[in-house]
Structure 1
Amino acid sequence: MTKQLFPLALGGLGIGTTEFVIMGLLPDVANDIGVSIPIAGHLISAYAFGVVIGAPILVALSAKFPPKNVLIAFMLLFTFFNFLSTIAPDYNTLMMTRFLSGLPHGAFFGVGTVVASKLAKEGKSAQAIASMFTGLTVANLAMVPFVTYIGHHYHWRYAFAIVSLIGLFTILFLYRNLPKQKVLRTVTLKEELEFFKTIKAWHILLIVSIGFGGLFAWFSYIAPLLINVSNFEEGSISYIMVIAGAGMVVGNILGGALADKRDPMKVCIFLLSCLVIALILVFLFSSSKIISIILVFVCGTLAISMGAPINMVMLNNAKHSAMLGAAFLQAAFNVSNSLGAFFGGLPLFFDLDYNYPSLVGAFMAIIGVILCLLFIKNYQEKDKSLN
């Protein structure tokens, strides 16, 4: 990773930490502010809703300004609203600060994706984008478990204070290390939105929303799966999650390397197909502790490896709408998170065991593979024939 890309990765570390740490601290938050755990769970949804709303709007409003200034502004908002979460006096206020914290999430990655691709050496764009997402993988590997420990043993508010501190360091390194670039928007907002009037744009977003939802069907219920089916002790789950985080680090590197050497859409097909197989294996063999540990690592690897390839697909097709397209992708990732958790939870309503969400995830990933194949047939093959 270059010095220029480091601030983007650091921003990803802060964003990944605040997005996922709340899941491990829900009981602490619920107890402290006097609500039930299901009600406290709405804080997760509030953040995701903020991402979906903020990503396209903030990018559209800021695209006429230099990207360095825009990224610093987004991180200022992120830092400020996370700080407000540390002092939120009640549930309603915390709900609002979580929503506001999510607003700059997708916008930061949307602008950062294009900036990273511009800073990359020729033929290394996907790996540069993967470098930016390194922060997310490190968050899941180390920072989320560490901050969860601090929040649980001292106070949950310290978790958001640590995130705010990461935000401050990100602002400093953005200012010092990120080079100045020209305004990224080369067309008017109206012209930029033209791409999103096409079926092709929504086809890409649908691949993410449904196909990538397969991994969230598994990940959303990983703790009860490991406890009730694999028979691990509850106290060991945090350590197993570190294994998933290690897989994500490997997957991030793998996805970037593959997308620079092969057609990114074909890379997505390959990785989604591997995910289908892995999730079916989870369904069949989760009763084995050894196989479960291996599959946690494998699924963690596949979970993040598709990030760089699908971003390259969007950049290659959106052209002048690349920055807005990358922001919409972040919104789609959060939609896939919600859809995966929802559909993955349906078997549980019928008292089926916790390995069934992974079977639902495999089905969603199969739909993703089909959508990718249709994309190649309807667009990429057609573009080749025109040339």
Structure 2
Amino acid sequence: MHQHAYEGQCTAEEDRHTLARSPVRNPRPALFALALGTFAIGTGEFGSNGIIQLFAADLGVFIPVATHAITAYALGVVLGSPAITLLAARVNRRTLLLGLIVLFLLGNGLSALAPNIELLVVFRFVSGSVQGAFFGAGAVVAAYLYGPGQGGKAFATVMGGLTVATIAGSPLGTFIGQNAGWRAMFWAVLALGLLAGAALLAWLPRTGDLHGGSVTNELAALRRLDVWLMGAVAALGISSIFAVYTFIGPFVTDAARQDPALIPVALAVFGLGMAAGNHLGGRVADRHGHLGLIWGYGGVLALLVLIGVAGGHLAILLPCLFGVGATMMFAIPTIQVRLTGFAPGAPTLMGALNLAALNLANSLGAIGGALTLDAGWGTLSTVWAGFALTTAGLLLYLATVARANRAAGFPTRRGAPHPSKQP
């Protein structure tokens, strides 16, 4: 039997975590608390990018050395979050989220006090280790609050705080750093974390339905090829968002020949697209199986071509930036639903792995774009690196779907019933 092939084939673990109905009459405060937590985390992540020149100068290092602090955060997500998730497998998700907020406060408080770049790198790793585990546990709690069949909407709610951080939190954090010093930015993030922690403590339900599961179940998920294939689909496909986002500044000033003052506007437009795509993608992920990912990846490929050909015109560039953010975020909730479907007994770990894949995508997109620039192909050439990576991700996903259909004995023709709807 191929009980792990699709979302519809659930274990008792998933029934308890993602399909149980909430005893909370009004889940909105708890959902807000989860989004506030991810907003604080996202502000700390993206805001630190905006103050890199400031802490480099203050700590007496060159920019390339200062980027080690940014890289350490990403490594914390990729390595630290799955490790924390496994170690805390049996912990109640409410307790885990509160513990993660404490660790988040510790990491950012120590970052604000770091006397040298070496310790700042260590403290940023600690801060990053919170992110994936928080998103994973938060998605489990949100799914519990929403009720049956809304895992995509639940993950989109948790991701919503991160998208708002790209629109408001990151610019605000950068502004604080520029006007009050880079350490003040981390203190501001710590204050946001305190608010989030208070909200989580007050509004998250106390219930045994959110108890953790077996470490064996979590580890068993890592033995499934489909999980790793889906992680590769995410890391490859989503990289194009960072092949664009990382280079928005040069797109505006060098390609479109506009004043640097327009860069924050372009970033905000991109962030608004992310928020819109995330909201719609959560609904599509729960209702239409594969389509969220296929439409999202396909849409971003078309937009990347348009930017590569005509992105030097601001009237084309800005709508395309909105579109790239929207279409790529449209796909991410489907990735989470698919991951959880392949490993229903480890929903928290799958959320952590999804965030780890996003951080790998960050590196792949930035590296791919840098390679095209170094090759002398022009400012807008970074989108072609993203195009190649997302195409690879889409092709891998289609191959994965075909493989899963064959393994489960379901027809692969277009229009075939979704496995979860089979008797």
- TM-score range relative to shorter protein: over 0.9
TM-superposed deviation, 1:121? 3.0
2:253 — aligned with what? Answer: 227
Distance 2:277 2:200 in 1: 26
| 1:187, distance to aligned residue in structure 2 (A) | 5.2
Q: Distance in 2 between matches of 1:322 and 1:257?
A: 19
CA distance in 2 between counterparts of 1:239 and 1:89 reads 34
Deviation track 1:85-142 (CA, whole Å, cap 9, x = no partner) reads: 1111111111111111111111111111122112213333322221111111111111
Partner of 1:152: 178
For the pair 1:315 / 2:340, whether they are aligned, the reply is: yes
Task: Give distance in 1, aligned partners of 2:271 and 2:198.
Answer: 27
> What CA deviation, in whole Å up to 9, does each residue of 1:233-257 have, x standing for no partner?
1222112211111111111111112
Amino acid at match of 1:115: V
> What fraction of aligned residue pairs are identical, expressed as a percent?
31
Are the counterparts in 2 of residues 279 and 299 from structure 1 also a CA contact under 8 Å?
yes
Counterpart in the other structure of 1:57: 83
What SS is found at the alignment partner of 2:228? helix
The residue number in structure 2 matching 1:112 is 138
Which residue matches 1:299? 324
User: 1:48 offset after TM fit, Å?
Assistant: 0.3
- Structure 1 position 186, deviation (Å): 6.7
Aligned to 1:88: 114
**What's 1:331 paired with?**
356
Matched, 1:176 2:202: yes
Q: How far apart are the structure 2 equivalents of 1:369 and 1:193?
A: 27
Structure 1 residues 40-49 or 125-134, which shifts more? 125-134
SS in 2 for 1:63: coil
Counterparts of 2:213 and 2:317 in 1: how far apart (Å)? 50
State the TM-score, normalized to the length of structure 2.
0.88
Tell me the matched-pair count. 386
| Distance (whole Å) between structure 2 residues aligned to residue 54 and residue 185 of structure 1 | 21
Aligned to 1:138: 164
Match in the other structure for 1:241? 267
> How far did residue 183 of structure 1 move?
6.4
How far apart in 1 are the matches of 2:319 and 2:254?
A: 18
Unaligned runs of 5+ in 1: none
Q: By how many angstroms is 1:39 displaced?
A: 1.5
Taking a change above 3 Å as real, the CA distance of residues 192 and 91 of structure 1, as seen in their structure-2 partners, is closer
Aligned twin of 1:275: 300
List per-residue Cα deviations over 1:294-346 (Å, max 9, x = no partner): 11111121232222111111112211122212211111111111111112211
CA–CA distance in 1 between the matches of 2:212 and 2:182? 44
Distance (whole Å) between structure 1 residues aligned to residue 33 and residue 118 of structure 2: 33
* Structure-1 residue corresponding to 2:22: none
Q: Which whole-Å CA distance do the structure 1 matches of 2:350 and 2:114 have between them?
A: 34
Q: Contact conserved, 1:252 with 1:305, CA < 8 A, in 2?
A: yes
Partner of 2:69: 43
Offset, 1:185: 6.6
Shift of 1:356: 0.7
Aligned-partner Cα distance in 1 for 2:356–2:303? 26
1:239 and 1:135 map into 2 onto residues whose CA distance is 20
Cα deviation digits, residues 206-228 of structure 1 (max 9, x gap) = 10111111221222222112211
- Residue among 355, 371, 385 paired with 2:396: 371
Q: Give the counterpart of 2:92 among 66, 70, 74.
A: 66
1:24 counterpart residue number: 50
CA distance in 1, matches of 2:150, 2:353: 23
Q: 8 Å contact 1:16–1:136 — kept in the other structure?
A: yes
What do residues 344-376 of structure 1 show as CA deviations (whole Å, max 9, x unaligned)?
211111122111110110111111111121121
1:209 to 213, 230, 235: 235
**AA at the equivalent of 2:371:** L
CA distance in 2, matches of 1:261, 1:314: 16
- Provide the rounded CA distance (Å) in 1 between the counterparts of 2:202 and 2:50: 34
Contact conserved, 1:130 with 1:252, CA < 8 A, in 2? yes
Question: How far off its partner does 1:165 sit?
Answer: 0.6
**TM-score where L is the length of structure 1:** 0.96
**Which SS does the other structure have where 1:306 is aligned?**
helix
Q: What's the counterpart of residue 7 of structure 1?
A: 33
Change (3 A) 1:319 1:123: closer
Question: Structure 1 residue 198 and structure 2 residue 224: aligned?
Answer: yes
- 2:376 aligned residue: 351
Q: Which amino acid aligns with 2:278?
A: N
Contact 2:248 / 2:266 at 8 angstroms: preserved in 1? no
Return closer, same or farther for 1:381/1:4 CA change in 2, 3 Å cut-off. Answer: farther
Aligned partners of 1:110 and 1:125: how far apart in 2? 12
Task: Go from structure 1 to structure 2 and tell me whether the alpha carbon gap of 1:286 and 1:46 turns closer, same or farther (over 3 Å shift).
Answer: same
CA contact (8 A) 2:238 2:361 kept: yes
> What is the CA deviation profile of residues 248-275 of structure 1, one whole-angstrom value per residue up to 9, with x for unaligned ones?
1111111112112211x33101100101
Deviates more, 1:177-186 or 1:189-198: 177-186
Distance 2:328 2:253 in 1: 21
What is the alpha-carbon distance in structure 1 between the residues aligned to residue 154 and residue 136 of structure 2? 14
Q: 2-side partners of 1:170 and 1:284: how far apart? A: 43
Call closer, same or farther: CA 1:102–1:297 in 2, change over 3 Å. Answer: same
Q: How far apart in 1 are the matches of 2:306 and 2:92?
A: 47
Alignment partners' CA distance in 2, 1:152 and 1:181: 44
Aligned residue type for 2:325: G
| Aligned residues of 2:104 and 2:130 also touching (Cα < 8 A) | yes
